[in-house]
Structure 1
Amino acid sequence: MTCDALDEAWLLRHPLPAIEHGADKNGRGRVLVVGGAEFVPGALRLTGEAALRAGAGKLQLATVQSSALSLGVLVPEAAMIALPADKNGEIAPEAAEMLVTRMANCDTLVLGPGMSTSVSTQAFIENMLARLDFPVCLILDAAALVALRKLDQSRLHGKNVILTPHHGEMAALSGLSIEAVEADPASVAIEMAARWNAVILLKGGRSHLASPEGECLAYTGGCVGLGTGGSGDVLAGLVGGLAARGASPLTAAAWGVWIHGPAGTILAKKVGQIGFLARELLPLIPSIIDEQVATTSTR
């Protein structure tokens, strides 16, 4: 299966929504990020800051109570929501009820960063999706992706949904082996996009994006250093911030990949091919967006 190249020509045909001069923070979109655990208390910092760096106007972070205060100090631009935890330090299933109003008042919900796969996580994800009132754009990442396998696929049909698996998560979601995913990632992405009626961003050394309508894009940029802990959390927040600004799911995912890759390339030249940190990607995001928007708008 072949895909079209994700390149500047594609971006030119699919620009980011313009932000009007004088637009306030509400006009730039509201992002709610839900995830994290006592084991990885800082994951949401990466996702949340990436959403703001991508241009979202307002940010709320919801995580386990033991981590909420320190995370709020680390990201003072965000409103914090402290949630109950289960005995393993993961968000408790009943926490979903506390987020109903928050979900209804956001433009984009990023669900899953920093969460581990468990029975409790499965129940929490199910409770969240049962209470989610679309047309919020929903981005499912990490453990939230694995939880989908046991859910009715029709529950997401007709919605604005983006799934961001790496090959291992795609194997768990699809029921295929990792070897099968690696053998033909484009076909797997297209099949899963149709099955879930969602945009699939299948991450890897060569990333593949697929839409429910069958469009497929391949991105070959980036660098080996992006294969580091937290890099995917940054990408999920980056896509979420672009979606909150009004980009369609496929446009948000494509621009997110395009921005994430060059950020890694810059750090590879400045720091080294490997060894740079995911959090070092964050300050580079705004200037890369500005440069790319300027490039595509003048063609």
Structure 2
Amino acid sequence: MMRKLDKNSIRTLIPKRSIDANKGTFGKVLVIGGSKNYPGAAYFVCAAAYRVGAGLVTLATEDIVKIIVSKKLPEVTFLSSNEVFEKIDNYDVLCVGPGLGTNTAAAKLVKQLLIKKLPPKVIDGDGLNLLSKMEVWWEKLDGEVVLTPHPGEFSRLTGLSIERIQSDRENVALQFAKKWGKTVVLKGANTIVAFPGGGVVISPFANPLLATAGTGDILAGVISGFLAQGLNSFEAAICATYIHGLAGEKLKVLFGKAGALASDLLPLLPQIIKELV
């Protein structure tokens, strides 16, 4: 069954905010990402998770990235990579891969994550690229998982050509969501969200303004933030996809079809949530 996302269906999914809550109420996100060449990816994920209501966001990354992100977003707390496995059970959600790189250390870290029982997770960017090099990786990832590939990453994961993927996005996304047993968010114009149980939803938004560096990292952060607040993988994916797309539409009113930065999306996220609830 395929359907388009709409405002009314999303409104019912947005997590409620109790007046007597504390930061633990709204979940703890651990982001494993960022590298000296891609510090911005880590920043965008962390900021987006906070902007949609996560209670605490921690970043496990290189020292140089910690310095950069802490100056931009002092609300983030930090771990070193060698602390991840000691502390991982303290978190409600993992977001793995944005800006991580694909070097030997990153590959080793992702392989280690596959053999440990984990909380719900979002895998994006280089996390997907590293998975694509591993045999039957989907059998080793348990629990709630959201994969957020763009067509190039999806091509590497599936072995299909980008042309084949783009010619039948809905059915191809659903085919592999079922095969892998994971929620798939196939990014692009009219982003597709496919659920392993058989559901497919299509974003109503096709916006070239969002075809710029960092917007995918923000989507991964929004999904992570909603997972942390208790939505399941499919709910978090469709809620995030709609709100992220609607933020892009608001930017289009200001900028037209080009010239906005990914960072321009961030302050719009809580505004849109306010309007929806």
TM-score of the superposed pair, with normalisation by structure 1: 0.87
For 1:138, the equivalent position in structure 2 comes to: 121
**In structure 2, how many angstroms separate the alpha carbons of the residues matched to 1:259 and 1:8?**
9
**In structure 2, how many angstroms separate the alpha carbons of the residues matched to 1:108 and 1:222?**
29
SS in 2 for 1:282: coil
**In structure 2, how many angstroms separate the alpha carbons of the residues matched to 1:229 and 1:168?**
15
> Are 1:111 and 1:140, in contact at CA under 8 Å, matched by a contact in 2?
yes
> Are 1:72 and 1:78, in contact at CA under 8 Å, matched by a contact in 2?
yes
**In structure 1, how many angstroms separate the alpha carbons of the residues matched to 2:259 and 2:79?**
33
Asked whether 1:121 is paired with 2:106, we answer yes
Asked whether 1:7 is paired with 2:12, we answer no
Deviation (angstroms), 1:222: 4.7
For 2:254, the equivalent position in structure 1 comes to: 270
Deviation (angstroms), 1:117: 3.2
Aligned structure 1 segments of 4 or more residues deviating by more than 4 angstroms: none
Select 2:36's aligned residue among 21, 35, 38.
38
**Given residue 103 of structure 1, which amino acid in structure 2 is its aligned partner?**
I
SS in 2 for 1:156: coil
Asked whether 1:177 is paired with 2:168, we answer no
For 1:24, the equivalent position in structure 2 comes to: 22
> Are 2:2 and 2:200, in contact at CA under 8 Å, matched by a contact in 1?
yes
Q: How does 1:82-101 map to 2 (within 5 A)?
A: 82-83=80-81, 95=82, 98-101=83-86
The verdict on how the C-alpha distance between 1:218 and 1:55 changes in structure 2, with shifts beyond 3 A counting, is same
**In structure 2, how many angstroms separate the alpha carbons of the residues matched to 1:80 and 1:255?**
27
> Are 1:156 and 1:197, in contact at CA under 8 Å, matched by a contact in 2?
no
Deviation (angstroms), 1:151: 3.9
**Given residue 275 of structure 2, which amino acid in structure 1 is its aligned partner?**
E
**Given residue 243 of structure 1, which amino acid in structure 2 is its aligned partner?**
L
> Are 2:32 and 2:100, in contact at CA under 8 Å, matched by a contact in 1?
no
Asked whether 1:67 is paired with 2:68, we answer no
For 2:214, the equivalent position in structure 1 comes to: 230
Select 1:160's aligned residue among 144, 148, 154.
144
**Given residue 202 of structure 2, which amino acid in structure 1 is its aligned partner?**
A
- Indicate the RMSD between aligned Cα atoms, in angstroms: 1.6
In structure 2, the gaps of 5 or more residues are none
Asked whether 1:189 is paired with 2:188, we answer no
> Are 1:222 and 1:264, in contact at CA under 8 Å, matched by a contact in 2?
no
SS in 2 for 1:61: strand
For 1:284, the equivalent position in structure 2 comes to: 268
> Are 1:35 and 1:63, in contact at CA under 8 Å, matched by a contact in 2?
yes
**In structure 2, how many angstroms separate the alpha carbons of the residues matched to 1:172 and 1:202?**
13
Deviations 1:213-241 (A, max 9, x none): 01011112151110100000111001100
> Are 2:145 and 2:183, in contact at CA under 8 Å, matched by a contact in 1?
yes
Name the count of aligned residue pairs. Answer: 275
For 1:78, the equivalent position in structure 2 comes to: 76
Deviation (angstroms), 1:119: 4.5
In structure 1, the gaps of 5 or more residues are 84-94, 294-299
> Are 1:167 and 1:202, in contact at CA under 8 Å, matched by a contact in 2?
yes
